[in-house]
Amino acid sequence: MANGVEEEPGAVVFVCDRQGPALERRQRCLRLAGIIFTIETEHRPSGTYYKLRVRERDAVAAHLALQMGGCARTSRLRESRPSIFAGLRDVARTLWDEAMLLLGRLSDLVWLPVPRLLTGPTDVRARR
């Protein structure tokens, strides 16, 4: 794209294995942020990889621009061996949450009609 990156050290902010919407979204984010970038292609036996490279001094700004544009990394799920204690803790936490919801609904059931009960019926004789 732009030729300002090749003269000085650069940082790779995104790598993908195909051209398409993902690469275009990130290009648009960098363009909107006013960050100069280039697209490098790297040919490997496993395929062609496309790299978005920015100037080294713009690397942090580029990552922030990509995050603000909704192109942040996805968080990976942690794979751990589930233990019996972790399972029991999850069950206990779920039961506690359900009990708190039940208490909240019961209190709503009791306290919502109370103001109507305290006022009593309207007395027709009191108006005369």
**Long-range contact list for 67-74, CB < 8 A, 24+ apart?**
68/29, 69/25, 69/26, 69/28, 69/29, 69/32, 70/25, 71/14, 71/22, 71/25, 71/26, 71/29
Model pTM score:
0.50
> Each residue of 48-93: pLDDT tens digit?
999 999 999 999 999 888 888 777 665 555 556 778 888 888 889 9
> Each residue of 14-38: pLDDT tens digit?
888 888 888 888 899 899 899 999 9
